Structure formats: structure tokens, C-alpha cells
Structure 1
Amino acid sequence: MQVEHDAKWIKRLSVLSRMYFTPTFLGAEYIDASKPAMYVGNHTIYGVLDSPLIIDYLYNEHKVAVVSIADHSHFYLPGWRGMVKKFGAVRGIQDYVRSVMQQGYSILVFPGGGREVLKRKGEAYQLIWKQRYGFLKLAQEFDYDIVPFAALGGDEVFELGFDASAIVENRWFKQLLKIEKLDQLLRHGDVIPSLPKRIIPKRIPFYFQFMPRQSLKHIQSIDELKLYREQLQLDIYAALANLKQVRAQHHSSK
């Protein structure tokens, strides 16, 4: 598995985002380029505004080359696929991820995946991780620490005009999903996107909080892994709450 991590491309494409969203990064002391880690956090709506900023910051500020685990849908269109690969992304297939970890890359993981970026009304900053544990098992296998992080701002840049729930919860649509192949294609309705009222995002400052590295060496069973995953989610929610306070303080001081 060859990673196409183009640092100049990343910096060039993220410069406009940095100017537009003026990101603030907290917790730089927890970023260590000397030992690869798995960076795990929340994904904001549509997933294309937060990721480039994180990848650019980690590499160009801290020399941490992260490989982002991307949803399969990013690799269907040739032009878009090429752009995603230049950001160091690989398709979310376990063998691919294992290959890049063998090469010593740090990993950027959004356990909510495609469903978390295709948010519906009322789901801002919700972690929709379902029952995914594979990323933690890989971290254990390669002795990677977990570096949790939280991203604030991205779920507020769009006001949704069309809510995907209108389709997904429709009884006729539910009948269609009883067709097995169609249900698999639509991932039980998870790939139905909500649509924004306006295509241009609001200019809202972004905030990112990195947290202390966490070792998984003490985890011996699947039950302990489940408990750890639940605590990891709570840590991210707590960091989001803290970032909201930081944002409020910044706003009040202006």
C-alpha cells in the first residue's frame, strides 16, 4: 500500500480554509512525531472542512504524517479519488490500514465514518460510532497510543434545508430497504444526505482540542475494550463542551 501524502498540496488547499475559519488548536503538547499514534475524533458535517485542517496542522506544524481512513464512497469518482489520496487517505479496508501502520504512519480515524458526516437535523456534534471496535483492535495490534481530539465549528457552518430523515423514515422507503441488495447499496439509508439551504458555509471559527495519549496495553478483553470506547466518547464530548466555553470566552473578549 503506497501512501500519496503530498504536503505541499495539503498546505495549498488548506490555506483558504485557515483564512476563512481561523482555526485554533489546543493541546499541542500531546502531539509527538517520534512515535506513531492513532488520532480519534468526531467528524463534522460533510467531512471535507475539518479533515484538511487537521492533516495540515499535524504535518506542517508537528511533522506528523497521518494517513486518514476514508469512507469507500470517496474512491468512486476518479478526480475526487485523486484529491483524497493526495491528502494521505486510504480506503477503510482493514488490510490497507494494517499495511500503512506497518510502514509507521500515524492514523487519523473518524469512527462515525460516512454516517457521521451525513448528519440530520438535531445531530450536531453527535458521535454516531455504532458498534465499531476494529480501529481499537488495530491500535492494540501495533501498540499505537490513542490521541483523542474534538473538533468544534464544522457542524454549524451549514443550515440544513432538506433533512434526510424525511426519506429514511418514510414507510415506502423502509419497504424498499427490504430488498437486500438495495439495502446494502444504501447502507440501510445511511448514505442518504441532508442538503444545506446554502452551499456557501458560514464563516464560523473552528476549534480543535487534542487530548493526552492513551495506552491500550491494560485492556485484556472485549468487554474492557467496549468500556474504553464508551469512555473515549465521553472524553470527546467533554472536550467539545470545553471548546464551547473557550469559544464563548474568545467571543466575549472581542
Structure 2
Amino acid sequence: MQVKHDGQWIRRLSALSKLYFTPTFLGAEYIDASRPAMYVGNHSMYGIFDSPMLIDYLYNEHKVAVVSIADHSHFYVPLWREAVKKFGAIDGTQHYVRTAMQQGYSILVFPGGGREVLKRKGEQYQLIWKQRYGFLKLAQEFNYDIVPFAALGGDEVYEIGFDANKIVQHKYFQTLLKVPQLKKLLRQGDVIPSLPKRLFPKRLPFYFQFMPRQSMAQVHTQEELIAFRQSLQHHIYTGLAELSVLRQQGQ
């Protein structure tokens, strides 16, 4: 498998976001390009503004050979697929991720995936990880540390005008989900997006906080794996809270 990083493309695409959202990056001391790691954090609504800045920061500023794990849907559309690949993204199947790790790439993963991107009302900055543990098992397999990070700003650039729950919770839609093929295609309704009130995003500062590396060397049982994931989520929520205070102080 060949990862197709294009540093200039990454820099150009993130430049507009950086100019508009003036990001602040904290915790650079926890980024080490010489030691592959798995960078794990929260995904913003629609995921189109913070992700390019984050990848640009890791790849161009810190020379971290980072591979982004992308939803399968990104690779269905030919032109869009090529654009995504230039950011070093790969289809999020375990085989592809394992291959990237075998080649020594660091991994950028949003465990909430597409569902966390397609947030509904009341889900601002919520981690929607469901029962996903595969990313942690892969980190264990390759002895990768976990570097948690928190991203503040992305869930506030849009105000939801139409809540997807109005469709997903409707009795007729629930009837459709009883058909196995439709349930799989619609991912139990997870692919239904909420719509913003306005297309133009609000201009506000973005903040990214990287946190200390977490080793999984002491995780052996399923119970310990569950506890580790809970601790990881706690670190991210704490980071978001600290960034919110920092923003209120105008720093």
C-alpha cells in the first residue's frame, strides 16, 4: 500500500482554514516524529475545517508521517477520493491500517467516525465512540503509544437548522430500518446529516491541545481495555474544558 502525502497540497488546503480560524496549537512537546504513535481525538461537525489544519500541523510542521483513517464513503467518489488521498488518508479498514502501521506511519484516528461528524442537536463536543475498541487493539499489537488531543471550535462554526433526529426517529424511517439491506446501507440512520442554518461558517478561533503519551503496556484484559478507553475519553473531555477556559480568557 502506498500512502500519497502531498505536503504542498496539504499546506495550501489548510492555509484558508488557518487564515480564517487562526488556530492555536498547544502541547507540541508531546509530538515526537521519531516515535510512531496513534493520535486520537474528537471529530468536529462536518470535519472539513479542523482536519486539514491538524494534518498540516503534524505533517508539515512536525514532520510526523501521519496517516489519517477516513470513512469508507470518502473513497466512493473519484475526484474527492484523490483529494482525500493527498492528505495521506486511507480507507479505514483494519487491513489498510495494519499495513500502514507495519510501514511505520503514525495514525490519526477519530473513533467517532462519520457519526461524530454528523452531529445532531445537543451533541456538541460529544464523543460518540459506540463500542469501538479496534483502534486500541491495533495500538497494542504494534506497541504504539496513544497521544490524545482535543480540538475546540469546529462544533460551533455552524448552528443546526434541521436536526437529523427528526428523520431518524420518525416511525416510517424506523420501519425502513427493519429491512436488513437498508439498515446496513443507512448505518441505522447514522449517515443522515443535520443541516446548518447557514452555509457560511462563523469565524472564531480554533484550539488544539495535544496531551501526554499514554502507554498501553499495562493493558492486558478486556476490563483494563475498557478502563483505558474511558480514561482516554476523560483526557479529551478535560482538554476541551481547559481549552474553553483558555478561549474565554482570550489567550
What is the TM-score normalised by the length of structure 2? Answer: 0.99
Q: What's 2:73 paired with? A: 73
Counterpart of 2:91 in structure 1: which amino acid?
R
Q: Does 1:41 align with 2:41?
A: yes
Alpha-carbon separation, structure 2, partners of 1:92 and 1:36: 18
Alpha-carbon separation, structure 2, partners of 1:16 and 1:49: 9
Alpha-carbon separation, structure 2, partners of 1:61 and 1:177: 45
1:234-253 equivalences in 2 (<5 Å): 234-250=234-250
* Local SS of the residue matching 2:249: helix
Alpha-carbon separation, structure 2, partners of 1:115 and 1:150: 18
Q: CA deviation at 1:59?
A: 1.3
Q: What's 2:223 paired with? A: 223
Alpha-carbon separation, structure 1, partners of 2:21 and 2:88: 22
1:179-218 equivalences in 2 (<5 Å): 179-218=179-218
Q: What's 1:52 paired with? A: 52
Q: CA deviation at 1:48?
A: 1.3
Unaligned 5+ residue runs, structure 2?
none
Q: Which runs of at least 4 in structure 1 moved beyond 3 Å after TM superposition?
A: none
Alignment length (residue pairs): 251
Unaligned 5+ residue runs, structure 1?
none
Counterpart of 2:179 in structure 1: which amino acid?
I
Q: What's 1:125 paired with? A: 125
Q: CA deviation at 1:143?
A: 0.5
Alpha-carbon separation, structure 1, partners of 2:158 and 2:206: 13
Counterpart of 1:100 in structure 2: which amino acid?
A
Counterpart of 1:65 in structure 2: which amino acid?
A
Deviation per CA, 1:162-220, whole angstroms, max 9, x where unpaired?
11000000011001100000000000000000011111111011000000001100101
Q: What's 1:171 paired with? A: 171
* Local SS of the residue matching 1:172: helix
Q: CA deviation at 1:50?
A: 1.1
Deviation per CA, 1:80-139, whole angstroms, max 9, x where unpaired?
111100000000100000001011000000000000000001100000000000000000
RMSD, aligned α-carbons: 0.7
Q: CA deviation at 1:23?
A: 0.2
What is the TM-score normalised by the length of structure 1? Answer: 0.98
Alpha-carbon separation, structure 2, partners of 1:134 and 1:47: 21
Counterpart of 1:89 in structure 2: which amino acid?
A
* Local SS of the residue matching 2:184: helix
